[in-house]
Every structure is written in C-alpha cells, then in structure tokens.
Amino acid sequence: MVSTSTALGPPRRFAVIGAGGLTGLAALQVLVTELCDYIRAGDIEIVGFEQRDDIGGVWLADPRPDPSKQKWPETPAYDSLKTDIPHPIMYYPSHLAHPSTPLFTDAQTVNDYMQSYVDKFGLRQYIQFNTQISAASWDPSTNQWNVTTRSYGVQSNKEAESVLHFDHLLVTNGHNRHPFTPDIHGFDDWASSGSRTYTHSIWYRVPEPYRGRDVLVIGGGRSGVDCSADISTVARKTVHSIRAAVDKDLDGIIQRGDISHFTSDGFVHFSNGKSEHVDRVVFATGYEYDCSFLTQLPVEEAQVGSDHLYNSRFHIYPLAL
C-alpha cells in the first residue's frame, strides 16, 4: 500500500478541462474518489475548469440564442432533444437513475441527474466555472503544463489572463460547439436570393420558424433525424438528405440521398437525378473537433503498448507514469 503521509515539496496538481460535461464529471469523480486520501493530506490538488456557468455541458440549455450577440450558441440542444440510448447504459454506474425515470430522457432530466451526481460526490468545490482555457503547453524544463486561463461570460474581461501550472492534464471538453458546414456546388447561387435562408442545427430550437416552408435538412445523424421530424409537423414540405439513403416518402418527410448541387432557381439536385424546390436549409452536418488551446504536439510516438486499448489512434501527450 502506498503511504498517504504528506510528501516533501509542493502537491502534485491535476487539471481537468471541460469539467462540467458528462465526461469531465466522470473523470473528476474518479480522481477525487481514488485520490481522496492524498487530497486530504495536501499531497494532491485537483482543479476542474468549466467554460459555462453551471454543470451540464450540452445538456445545459441555451434556450433562445441570439446570433447578433454570440458567434455560436453554448449548446446545440433543441427543445425536443432526448437521449438516444437508455439511461441504464448512458448514466454512471456509480449513480443510478431513479426507477421511475423514463428510459429515454429529455435534456432537463439529464441535467438534473448530473446536478445530483455532482452533489453526491461533492464535485462542485473542485470546479472553476466561467473559465476558458486559451492555451496549454508542456514545459520540459519544469515537467509541467503551463495552462493559460481567462474569464468567460457576458460580463467577463477576456483580456485578463492567468497562467497556472499543473503536473497532469486531462482534456475532456466536448466537440459540439464548432459547426461543420460542407461546401456544396451551387449553394451560394441558391442562397443569393433574399427569400431563402439557411442555418446550422446548432441554432435550431423549435420548428415554428419553418411553418409553411419548403425545408431541406442535410445530415443523417441524430440531430438531422430529430430536426426533420420536428419540422415536418409545420412545414409545407420537408426533405431529408442522407448521403447513403434510398429514396422514400415517409410520414411527412421526403427522404433523399446524396446532394449533387444547388441552382439559383431554388432547387436542390440529388445524385440520382431527382430534384426538389426548397426555400430553407438546415445543415445538421456535425461539428469539428477543437483542441486549438493545445498549442504544441509532441513529435515522438507514445512508448507504451496499446493492444489492450479500445482505440489507440489518438496521440498520447507526455505520459503520467
């Protein structure tokens, strides 16, 4: 057994980036639980950084985002969002949901669950909210991470930065913040008409703005399926483009395959030669990963066997061995 007596020298410091989401909270809980004796003895310090003002990640609502005031919404969660896997699989095994919880839960139920998880394990005290990480770099001269933070939020001073030092860094930030929109031939010509508009599903909340419109939803993921179903309840026509789909006329939804191009007369043309007139487009085409705050990448490969890992494609930063 390793001794938990106070060690000589400063405590070892752990940073968890993106501590307010599901992954960040899980990582934080494991650290706090497994290292509790060392934390109490002052041998280890753990700090979680969360950009938003509360727990929840994508499950913390941003009900009516304003494009004139923010580049992107804080979350892509729309009003009808529900989990797509049953809660016994999705939720933490160390904190089961109440037996009366529906198998597929809405965003507020997930957020309430996350809040109860934080309270159960006393995690809130370890999290600095409204804090953005602008840079994190490994300093081989000190064998530490230099982590640059700044305040985040409407009233924050984004120019004021602080540099903190950590021995270990866990990156658990989400990837539903930077929308990906594909380049499609002729789309600019289609969009040049003032009577047509387009958006990414990160801005989508309710179907009402699409009432009576001819709407194209692009993307076969969960948000594309949900947005199509939502919009079809109010739109005059709903076309759902899924790259490898077979043409179908579903319940209020025209399903089509890959898009070939758009034309200035308002039509979208598909690879099989069919076309549909649309005056609204929703890109439910996913997100780009953004770890730009990691300002350097080591060139050497990790010197550790990875046959036992589920996925060893991702590079391992300086190893905490």
At 4 the pLDDT is 47
Please indicate, yes or no, if residue 239 is contained in any of the structural domains: yes
Task: Say if residue 58 is in the same domain as residue 148.
Answer: yes
pLDDT tens-digit series, residues 171-217:
999 889 899 999 999 999 999 999 999 999 999 999 999 999 999 99
Please indicate, yes or no, if residue 103 is contained in any of the structural domains: yes
Q: Which residues contact 170 (CB under 8 A, 6 or more apart)?
A: 14, 15, 16, 17, 24, 27, 31
Over 70: is that where the pLDDT of 222 sits? Answer: yes
Mean pLDDT of 24-30: 97
Over 70: is that where the pLDDT of 59 sits? Answer: yes
Structural contact between residues 113 and 33, judged by C-beta atoms closer than 8 angstroms: no
At 3 the pLDDT is 43
Please indicate, yes or no, if residue 316 is contained in any of the structural domains: no
Task: Say if residue 147 is in the same domain as residue 217.
Answer: no
- Residue 167 gets which letter from DSSP? S
DSSP β-bridge partners for residue 140:
none
Structural contact between residues 39 and 14, judged by C-beta atoms closer than 8 angstroms: no
Task: Say if residue 57 is in the same domain as residue 205.
Answer: no
Distance in angstroms (rounded) separating the CA atoms of residues 146 and 49: 14
pLDDT tens-digit series, residues 46-58:
999 999 999 999 9
* Strand 214-218 to 280-283 pairing: parallel
Where are the strands (E) in the chain, listed by range? Answer: 12-17, 44-49, 127-128, 131-139, 144-151, 161-166, 168-171, 197-200, 214-218, 237-241, 248-249, 254-256, 259-262, 267-270, 275-277, 280-283
* Strand 248-249 to 254-256 pairing: antiparallel
pLDDT tens-digit series, residues 77-104:
999 999 999 999 999 999 999 999 999 9
At 304 the pLDDT is 53
Over 90: is that where the pLDDT of 39 sits? Answer: yes
Mean pLDDT of 164-171: 96
What is the percent of the chain with per-residue pLDDT over 90, rounded to a whole number?
79
Task: Say if residue 166 is in the same domain as residue 199.
Answer: no
Please indicate, yes or no, if residue 250 is contained in any of the structural domains: yes
Over 70: is that where the pLDDT of 270 sits? Answer: yes
Please indicate, yes or no, if residue 2 is contained in any of the structural domains: no
Distance in angstroms (rounded) separating the CA atoms of residues 172 and 30: 13
| Closest CA relative to residue 216, chosen from 264, 254, 271, 182 | 254
Q: Is 158 strand, coil or helix?
A: coil
Structural contact between residues 174 and 21, judged by C-beta atoms closer than 8 angstroms: yes
Mean pLDDT of 283-305: 75
Q: Is 162 strand, coil or helix?
A: strand
Task: Say if residue 92 is in the same domain as residue 27.
Answer: yes
At 250 the pLDDT is 87
* Residues of the domain holding 203: 187-283
Task: Say if residue 56 is in the same domain as residue 125.
Answer: yes
- Work out the pLDDT band at 287, boundaries 50, 70, 90: very high
The enclosing domain of 33 has a CATH number of: 3.50.50.60
- Work out the pLDDT band at 70, boundaries 50, 70, 90: confident
Task: Say if residue 228 is in the same domain as residue 94.
Answer: no
pLDDT tens-digit series, residues 114-151:
999 999 999 999 999 999 999 999 999 999 999 999 99
Q: Which residues contact 300 (CB under 8 A, 6 or more apart)?
A: none
At 98 the pLDDT is 92
Task: Say if residue 24 is in the same domain as residue 162.
Answer: yes
Mean pLDDT (the chain) is: 90
Task: Say if residue 24 is in the same domain as residue 134.
Answer: yes
Mean pLDDT of 271-296: 93
Residue with the bigger pLDDT between 302 and 262: it is: 262
- Work out the pLDDT band at 296, boundaries 50, 70, 90: confident
- Work out the pLDDT band at 314, boundaries 50, 70, 90: low
Q: What is the domain count for the chain? A: 2
Distance in angstroms (rounded) separating the CA atoms of residues 34 and 26: 12
Task: Say if residue 16 is in the same domain as residue 161.
Answer: yes
Q: Which residues contact 129 (CB under 8 A, 6 or more apart)?
A: 20, 50, 52, 53, 54
Please indicate, yes or no, if residue 33 is contained in any of the structural domains: yes
Task: Say if residue 110 is in the same domain as residue 237.
Answer: no
Please indicate, yes or no, if residue 109 is contained in any of the structural domains: yes
Q: Which residues contact 275 (CB under 8 A, 6 or more apart)?
A: 267, 268, 269
At 321 the pLDDT is 34
Mean pLDDT of 277-289: 96
Q: Where are the alpha helices (DSSP H) in 154-279?
A: 187-191, 222-231
Please indicate, yes or no, if residue 50 is contained in any of the structural domains: yes
What's the sign of the alpha-carbon dihedral 51, 55, 60, 62?
A: negative
Distance in angstroms (rounded) separating the CA atoms of residues 78 and 63: 8
Kindly report the pTM of this predicted structure. 0.86
Task: Say if residue 86 is in the same domain as residue 199.
Answer: no
Where are the strands (E) in 233-290, listed by range? Answer: 237-241, 248-249, 254-256, 259-262, 267-270, 275-277, 280-283
Distance in angstroms (rounded) separating the CA atoms of residues 29 and 127: 11
